[in-house]
């Protein structure tokens, strides 16, 4: 049995659990701004993109896969493929290397990308190909380009996409350099964490393009003015992805000596990660308390020529931090 040849009972189950996932995401209201994404999630079969995945953590992983000889375990694999959770799809030397993101987070990010018919999209981080398939279903194959540094990832993404009936451009290369041969783009979406905004992306965007990318455990949405300028706020939601070049997401600076409420606060960890090159944890804590524990939406990023910086409340305000 292959990932693309399920028996009759599993095919029926796949249809059922995919519908359950769509209803679960639909209940959150995430698609209210663009209901076309609901149809994309209902149409694109996620199980084709995760013929195997791993359950567990750094203490050890258990592999689930479509070809398991045990029918019960094949059913577990299929149900897991449609669970609203991220799935570890590649593990190297005991560390997570690539994954399929949580579907509800993908739905939110795709909606926040604010695409319109006829737009071109560059995806940074091909992953399993599932996100590219959703984009291709919404916009058409010719409008979508996906890039990843790892040739094994891009090859498997192409195979998964073909099995689902989609053929967007999947390129092997450094995502930080973009794909100039297929530029310009109306939208860029990254499925990997950044620690800087690549200038090549801005240069490959049309004016008024939108870039959406994980950054410092959050999601930054930038409006591109021109090849040298972009600016925008963070969205409200947390987001954890592997870094642009693979590996494990860097942890923020150690803050063990700070009060428990800071050490346990997800928002404080966001601030620590965002300002890691500029503030030590104790300075960050002083700021966090003074500003009444600010939420992500109060933070933003500006790119202007050779400079880029993060800020709280205003790009030229009293709280700004240079980025790499």
So which residues are the catalytic ones? 101
Q: Describe the strand order of the beta sheet including 185-190 as a list of residue ranges.
A: 169-172, 144-148, 121-124, 185-190, 205-215, 218-226, 229-233, 299-304, 307-312, 320-322
User: Which among 278, 281, 290, 240 has a CA at the least distance from the CA of 263?
Assistant: 281
Rg (alpha carbons) of the chain, rounded to whole number = 20
**Cα of 225 vs its chain's centroid, Å:** 23
Query: What residues have CB less than 8 Å from 3, skipping those under 6 apart?
Result: 47, 48, 51, 66, 67, 160, 163
Q: Is the peptide bond before 293 cis (omega within 30 degrees of 0)?
A: no
**Cα of 280 vs its chain's centroid, Å:** 28
């Amino acid at each position: 049995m292959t990932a693309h040849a399920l028996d009759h009972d599993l095919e029926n189950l796949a249809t059922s659990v995919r519908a359950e996932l769509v209803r679960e995401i639909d209940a959150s209201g995430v698609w209210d701004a663009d209901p076309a994404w609901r149809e994309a999630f209902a149409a694109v079969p996620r199980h084709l993109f995760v013929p195997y995945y791993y359950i567990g953590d750094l203490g050890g992983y258990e592999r689930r896969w479509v070809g398991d000889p045990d029918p019960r375990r094949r059913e577990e694999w299929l149900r897991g493929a449609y669970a609203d959770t991220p799935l570890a799809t590649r593990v190297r030397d005991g560390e997570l290397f690539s994954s399929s993101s949580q579907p509800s987070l993908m739905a939110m990010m795709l909606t926040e990308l604010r695409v319109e018919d006829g737009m071109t999209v560059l995806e940074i981080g091909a992953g399993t190909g599932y996100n590219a398939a959703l984009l291709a279903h919404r916009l058409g194959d010719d409008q979508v380009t996906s890039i990843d540094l790892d040739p094994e990832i891009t090859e498997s993404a192409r195979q998964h996409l073909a099995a689902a009936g989609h053929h967007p451009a999947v390129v092997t290369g450094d995502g930080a350099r973009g794909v100039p041969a297929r530029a310009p783009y109306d939208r860029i979406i990254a499925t990997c964490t950044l620690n800087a905004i690549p200038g090549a992306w801005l240069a490959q965007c049309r004016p008024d393009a939108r870039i959406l990318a994980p950054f410092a455990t959050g999601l930054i949405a930038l409006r591109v003015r021109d090849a040298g300028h972009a600016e925008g706020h963070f969205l409200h939601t947390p987001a954890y992805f592997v870094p642009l070049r693979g590996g494990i997401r860097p942890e923020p600076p150690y803050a063990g000596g700070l009060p428990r409420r800071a050490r346990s606060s997800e928002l404080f960890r966001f601030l620590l990660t965002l300002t890691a090159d500029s503030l030590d944890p104790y300075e960050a804590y002083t700021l966090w308390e003074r500003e009444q524990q600010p939420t992500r939406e109060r933070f933003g990023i500006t790119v202007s020529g050779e400079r880029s910086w993060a800020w709280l409340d205003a790009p030229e305000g009293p709280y700004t931090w240079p980025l790499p």
